Amino acid sequence: MTRAELIHQIKAKRSFLCVGLDTDLAKIPDHLLDDEDPIYSFNKAIIEATADLCVAYKPNIAFYECYGIKGWQSLQKTWAALPKDCFSIADAKRGDIGNTSGRYAMAFFDEKASGLGFDSITIAPYMGKDSVTPFLDFKDKWAIVLALTSNEGSLDFQNFENKEGLQLFEQVIDKVNTWGTPENLMYVVGATRGEGFIKIREHAPDHFLLVPGVGAQGGSLEDVCKFGMNKDCGLLVNSTRGIIYASKGTDFAERAREEALILQKEMEVELVKAGIIS
């Protein structure tokens, strides 16, 4: 999916919602556990219930890899079930030397090789240029680079300052910007960082930002939009637990839709407020 296509979907659906598919067998409804592939059964129902309300889906790959070949098969079927008008994100946080990164890119981008053809993948940039650029070699694919995250351990490194007073996350964005463009690079920025978006936008005014942490993790959608939205919206705001685990009963898909609709309506208000839609 191109940047222009993503912007079109945001305007058409009046939403910049990304639904996380971090599917945990311990949390899905018990009645699905007897299915041949309970992870896929759960994901398929969630996708069908929310597809018109969101513009992206983000499976966290760890929740599939931990089950070996069966988990990978669940991931393949889940990817195939994603609507083609939705942006697909492999939340894998890969990052290694060049030839290894190239193989990771094949695993998630090359459908003929792996059975997966995600639009994008999350990347840990710690190893530098050759941990990111192999993903950018794939036409119309995106690297979503970790910049300023909201986990507790993020303070261990991300806020370190250099002699010029730039924090590490700012240095990362400035360097990564030289390897790609807003057409194939995004950044991960945690919603709980609030005014941190001001600094992010100083360094990446045009890039899309993938924003986890709204909802169950306490992030404010209003603050994210106030400080992080640009003229094209420039945001993909992810919600996982608040949507997919809204119910553990047979009504889980309906409840997921209800929660997604609440967020979509809040996003519609923000898009109107910003003049992106009318």
Domain harbouring 112, CATH code = 3.20.20.70
- Which tokens hold the place of 170? 């700012």
Concatenating the DSSP letter of every residue in 3-22 gives HHHHHHHHHHHT--EEEE--
The pLDDT, as a whole number, for residue 119 is 98
Tens digit of pLDDT for each residue in 38-48?
999 999 999 99
Asked if residue 131 belongs to a domain, the reply is: yes
Q: What sign results for the dihedral spanned by CA atoms 159, 212, 275, 119?
A: positive
Boundaries of domain holding 47: 3-273
pLDDT digit string (tens) for 133-159? 999 999 999 999 999 998 888 889 988
pLDDT for 30 beyond 80: yes
Strand runs labelled E in 13-81: 17-20, 56-58
Question: What total number of domains does the chain contain?
Answer: 1
Phi, psi of 98, deg, nearest 5 = -50, -50
Indicate whether 258 belongs to any domain: yes
Cα–Cα distances (Å) from 146 to 48, 110, 164, in that order, read 29, 22, 22
Which residues participate in catalysis according to the annotation?
93
Q: What is the pLDDT of residues 93-130, one digit of tens each?
A: 999 999 999 999 999 999 999 999 999 999 999 999 99
In a domain, 23, yes or no: yes
